[in-house]
Amino acid sequence: MVSEIQQLDFLRDRIHEIRSALFANTSNEAFKLPTCIISALNIDNEGQVCFFIHRPDLYMEEYDMEFPAKLDFYRKGKPFFLKISGLAQIVADKDEMLNYIGLPGNVDLPSLSKLLLVKVKVEHAEYFESKHKHHRQWNNWWKEMWHFFSGTKSTPRPHHALNLRPAA
């Protein structure tokens, strides 16, 4: 339990430091939310990363309100990045969104009708540290070019893998 709290605090600190991520719906549904760049509001004590996205033009009932998703947190100049996957939940209720941002339910915010609150329950997180050694930059660049032109994949290995699934 203590290590899970420490992992959540570590994750919260890294997310707060980076803030922006690429959000993607990983379900196989025909209609799904488009991939977009998000700005994380916070990560709560239940391990949910919360953020707002623009409401799509299509009717919301066509979408599943829960679906698998991933978040890739990256910021240029930071010596690390995160890859998070889990179950996303869409909150479309205006009162619940107002409650989340700390406003009473009787406030009228017309712009809120253009947004959706999304909560991604972190089930798996990987933390990667970047190597910023100047003498290795050219070597890494050549390796990346080789992998690009040869068609092979070069994937970094995680330094920490966090598994925050509840124990059964």
Look at residue 60 and tell me if it is in a domain: yes
Range 2-9, long-range pairs (CB < 8 A, 24+ positions): 4/164, 7/125, 7/162, 7/164, 8/43, 8/45, 8/47, 8/164
Our count of domains for the chain comes to 1
Please check whether residue 96 is in contact with residue 86, taking contact to mean a CB–CB distance below 8 angstroms.
no
Higher-confidence position of 151 and 44 = 44
Q: Whole-prediction pTM value?
A: 0.73
- The whole-number average pLDDT for the span 138-152 is 70
Distance CA 105, CA 97 (A): 9
Query: What are the φ/ψ torsions at residue 92 (nearest 5 degrees)?
Result: -105, -5
Look at residue 73 and tell me if it is in a domain: yes
Please report the pLDDT score of residue 135 as a whole number. Answer: 46
Over residues 13-57, the pLDDT tens digits come to 999 999 999 999 999 887 788 899 999 998 988 999 999 998 887
Look at residue 168 and tell me if it is in a domain: no
Residue 36 domain boundaries:
2-163
Look at residue 118 and tell me if it is in a domain: yes
CATH of the domain at 93: 2.30.110.10
Please report the pLDDT score of residue 163 as a whole number. Answer: 62
Please report the pLDDT score of residue 166 as a whole number. Answer: 56
